[in-house]
Amino acid sequence: MSLRKKCITAVNKTFEKRRQQNAAEETRRKEEVLAKIPQMAALEQEMEANMSAFMTFAFEENEKGNEKKFRAFKEKAMLLQGQRIELLYEAGFPTDYLEKVYTCAACKDTGALDEGLCRCYKKEISLEYLRLSGLERILKKQSFSDFDLNYYAKEGRPSPYQKMEYLKKYCEQYVANFASGGKNLLFYGNPGCGKSFLSAAIGKALIEEGYFVLYSPVQEIVTAFEAERFGKGGDHITTADYTDCDLLILDDLGTEFQTSFSDTTLYNLINARLNRGKPFIISTNLNLEEIEEAYHERLVSRMIYESDAFGFPDVDIRLAKKKAKSQQ
């Protein structure tokens, strides 16, 4: 089963459980109220009888001239409702204590609205996507707004600070424009300069928009393809997920154990995504010349020349240390 389908199945189960829990809560409240207000049972019965009589009336005699009768049903319903509120209030219960219990009032916990999926359902899907995306290990609870530009030196023109400020804005724009076709990106620079973080922040923001994003070190991707080739595919991420997800973030290019199999795998994967118009982000500690040296020309041409490449400036170690000290 694809990861996407797994997510939907898991969320549907969550909703089923939610409806059951809320129904159980309704029953519990009813029993609690009846124990304290015995006359509520008769009142509830009367409300139900009135409602069922009205339904019969509306179904059988939905003709003109019955305005009066219609109004009588409505008035009685309001009167009974008023009595119920009074009884609840006098016994110290919230006045809506016997209403239906919903976690989401908009969709009544169905997850669906007339115009499509409810916001609450989309949110659960996002959370599930995020859990399976591999992004959590990088991001924990951080996002774009937590990205700290103060680690970058302000000297020089453009200064590392200015470069990163531009890059951060570029990434935010990337998310905003993703629906009209996301580009492929190549982030390169020394370890610890913010590449993984910014690419993961893009991934998280897109997941929140409902996109399915996967984040994996290149080595993990190669291992997954290898396992599947030898019939040992795990039940977690399948190679089809890497090919089909809305955005694939390949982290740490160049640290994989490079073999002809790993190169072919990367080439096929990137090629398949290019053919489908599905973007990727590559982050690497190698610079452009080193990438050209390390990989075959046809792979290089797809990684570098089909992407917007950004060289990340180093963080200023002095500033980083100073900041770490001030936070102690």
Query: Whole-number minimum distance, CB 105 to Zn ion, in Å?
Result: 8
Asked whether the bond before 313 is cis by omega within 30 degrees of 0, the reply is no
Number of residues interacting with Zn ion: please give it, by CB under 5 A: 5
Minimum distance from CB of 203 to Zn ion (Å)?
A: 25
Q: Which of 80, 101, 107, 266 binds Zn ion (CB under 5 A)?
A: 107
Q: Which is nearer to Zn ion, 208 or 220 (CB)?
A: 208
106 near Zn ion, judged by CB under 5 A? yes
Q: Report d(CA 238, CA 221) in Å as an integer.
A: 9
Interacting residues with Zn ion between 41 and 100 (CB under 5 A): none
Query: Is residue 167 part of the contact set for Zn ion (CB under 5 A)?
Result: no
Q: What's the min distance (Å) between Cβ of 207 and Zn ion?
A: 19
Tell me, residue by residue from 117 to 156, as one string, x for binding to Zn ion by CB under 5 A and - for no binding.
-x-x------------------------------------
The alpha carbon torsion through 207, 209, 210, 213 (nearest 10 deg) reads -30
Helix residue ranges, H only, 177-316 = 195-208, 218-229, 239-244, 260-276, 288-294, 297-304
Burial degree of 268 (CB within 10 A; 0-12, 13-18, 19+): middle
Let me know: does 202 contact 170? Beta carbons within 8 Å. Answer: no
Quick one: which segment of 112-120, 156-164, 180-188, 296-304 binds Zn ion (CB under 5 A)?
Answer: 112-120
316: Cβ contacts below 8 Å, ≥ 6 apart: 151, 152, 153, 160
Minimum distance, C-beta of residue 141 to Zn ion, in the bound complex (Å): 24
The least CB distance from residue 309 to Zn ion, in Å, is 42
First and final C-alpha spacing in the chain: 47
**Residues lying near Zn ion in the complex (CB under 5 A):** 104, 106-107, 118, 120
